[in-house]
Chain A
C-alpha cells in the first residue's frame, strides 16, 4: 500500500516538488504559503536530488529566476500569495511571451492591497483573466485538497511542458494550511542534461557547433511578426481549450439546481448539496478543476435543464461572470460570496440558495 502522510497543503507542494524531479524552486516568504519554502529548506533536496532551492529578494526576482531557469529547459517553480503574485505578473507575461514552461502556486489571501492574510479566492480575475500585459493565458488548475496540491504539481508541469506555457496552481489559504492525508506517488527522477537537450531543443543549454544559437525572447518589433506570434499563441490556446478542460460533478444526474464552485468552496458545496438533497431538493455541483480552460460547454450543457445555477466563491463575484457566459441566459444565475477571510458555512449557503430561488 502506498505511503500516506498527514501534511499541510503547502507541505504537499514542497514534498511533491522534490519527489517529482523539479530542478529549481525560487521563492519569497509570504503568508499563508511560507511553509512551501520552509519545508524545502528543511528537506535539503540539493543533497539528494540536486534540486536548487533559493530565497530571492522579492517576488519580482523569484519569478524572473523562474523565467531564467525555464529558459534552460529546467523544471522550475515558485509559490506565493496574492500580493506577491501581483508582483509576478510582469514575469508571467514574459514567460508566456517567450513560450516557456513553469509552475506558479498561488495560495490566495484576501485583497485588495495588503488585504488580509486569511483565505480568499479573489485572485480569480488576476490569474484567469489577466496576470500581465498582452494577449496571453495562464493554464489555471484549482486544487481542493492537500492530495490535489501534491498531484497537481506534477500535472501542472506536464501541461506546462506540453504547451510551453505557464501553469498556475490557484489554491487558497484553506487548502494551503489544512492538514490532510496525502498519498505519496512513485518518485520521478530529475531529467538528465541529455534528456533536456533532447526534449527541449529550444532551450539555452550552450550552443554546440551542430545547431544555430537558441534565443529566448518575447521581442519582435516587426508588426506582422508580432501579430503572427500572437495568432500562434491563440491557436495554442484553442488546442488547450479543446483538450484540457477538466471538471468534476456531484449529484448532477437528476439535478434541478446547480452550484458551481472551485477549490475549497467546492468541498463546502458538496455538504450544501447533501443538506438540500436531505430536504428533497434536487441540487447538484459542478467543480471546475481547470479554470483556464473553463468548462463553458459542460456548464452550458447542464444549464438547459436547471431551474437556476449559483456560483459560490470566496470573493464578491468573479468566476460568476464566466458562469453567466456559459449559461448564456438558459436559466437564472445567482451568486453568493464572502470576503475578508470569512468563510461561509453550508447552512449559510443553503439559506442564500433558498432566498435566491424563492424557496423560503
Chain B
C-alpha cells in the first residue's frame, strides 16, 4: 500500500473537526484546553448547530477561545461570563448559549455570577476547566488549589490557616434547584476524552430543553503552572486532583 492509497478518503479514521480553525493554538504543549476545544468543536459540528450557537469566553488562558472554534463569540470580563450568557440566552431563546471558564474566573471572581445563573436555572451550558491554578497570570493560587500545592502565591504550599480550603464548586451548585445536569470529567486518556465528549453533548442538549443549567467540570492539567512534564502532570492529576475532585456524574434530573 502506497502513501497515496493510505490517504484515500475511505481510509480516513480521524480528522480535525471542521469547526476547529487553523489558527496555531497559544496553549502550552500538554495543556487540557486544546483537547476540550476540539471536543466542543466536534459536538457543535455533530449536532449541526454552528449557526445556532453563541459562545462566551472568559478571562484567563482560554481568553482566546474565539480564535479556535468557528462560531460567534463574545468575550466577557473576568468572571462575568454567566451574566452575559444569561442575557444572550434570554434574548435569543432559540440559540445554544455556553460559557467556557477556568477556575480562577468561575470559582473565584465569578462566584456570584455562576451561583445566581445556576439558581435562576438559566438554560445555558457551562464548561468549567479546573486545573487548580491561575495559568495566564503565571501560576498563582486558585480557589481550587489543593492543600499543600505550591503556586506562585503559595510558594510553601497552600496552608488552610493562611489560604483557606479548596472550593468544590460543582458539588455546591448541585444543591441548587436551577441546575439540571452536573458532571465532573477529565481528558487525560482516550476513554476520558470520550466520556467528556458525551457529557458536553448532553449539556448542550439539556440547555435547549428549558430544564435549567448544565455544568461540565473538566479536571485538567496545567503542566507549565504545575512545573511538570505533560506525562507527570497527568499522573499527578490522577493521584492528587481526583481525590478532591472525583470524576463522575453529580446530578442529572432526567435520570
* A residues whose Cβ falls under 8 Å from a Cβ of B: 23-24, 26, 52, 54, 56-58, 60-62, 64-69, 71-72, 74, 76, 90-91, 94, 98, 204-209, 213-219
Contact = CB atoms under 8 A, between A and B. Distances in A.
B71 interface: yes
Contacts of A206: 50-54, 71-72, 92, 95
A213 B80 contact: no
B203 interface: no
Interface in B103-118: 112-113, 116
Contacts of B86: 54, 61, 65, 68
Nearest to A207: B72
A195 to B, nearest CB: 14
Interface residues of B, number: 31
Contacts of B84: 64-65, 67-68, 71
B113 A71 contact: no
Contact of B88 (A68, A214, A215): A68
B54 A204 contact: yes
User: Which of A56, A65, A91, A205 has the most chain B CB within a 10 Å cutoff?
Assistant: A65
Nearest to A66: B87
A65 B97 CA distance: 13
27 contacts: A23-B91, A54-B86, A54-B87, A60-B80, A61-B112, A64-B80, A64-B84, A67-B80, A67-B87, A68-B87, A71-B88, A72-B54, A94-B77, A98-B74, A204-B73, A204-B88, A206-B54, A207-B51, A207-B70, A213-B66, A213-B72, A215-B66, A215-B72, A217-B73, A217-B74, A218-B75, A219-B75
Contacts of B51: 206-209
Given A61-B80, A64-B83, A65-B86, A215 B91 contact: no
A71 B52 CA distance: 15
B71 A68 contact: no
B90 interface: yes
B63 interface: yes
Nearest to A93: B77
A225 to B, nearest CB: 14
Given A90-B77, A214-B72, A217-B66, A61 B113 contact: yes
B250 interface: no
A219 B63 contact: yes
Contact of A216 (B73, B90, B92): B73
Given A64-B83, A216-B75, A69 B66 contact: no
A72 B91 contact: yes
A217 B86 CA distance: 18
Contacts of B116: 56-57, 61
A244 B80 CA distance: 33
B146 interface: no
Contacts of B50: 206-207
Interface string B58-100: 0000010010001111111100100111111011100100000
Among B54, B76, B88, B91, residue most surrounded by chain A Cβ atoms (within 10 Å): B91
B88 A64 contact: no
Nearest to A74: B91
A213 B107 CA distance: 29
Nearest to B57: A217
Nearest to B113: A61
A349 to B, nearest CB: 43
Contact of A72 (B76, B88, B112): B88
Given A23-B91, A61-B116, A76-B91, A68 B73 contact: no
Contacts of B141: none
B56 interface: yes
Given A204-B54, A204-B74, A69 B88 contact: yes
A68 B112 contact: no
- Of A60, A65, A66, A204, chain B has the most CB atoms within 10 Å of the CB of A204
B56 A68 contact: yes
A60 B110 CA distance: 10
Contacts of B52: 206
Given A56-B83, A56-B116, 5 more contacts: A64-B87, A65-B83, A67-B74, A76-B87, A213-B71
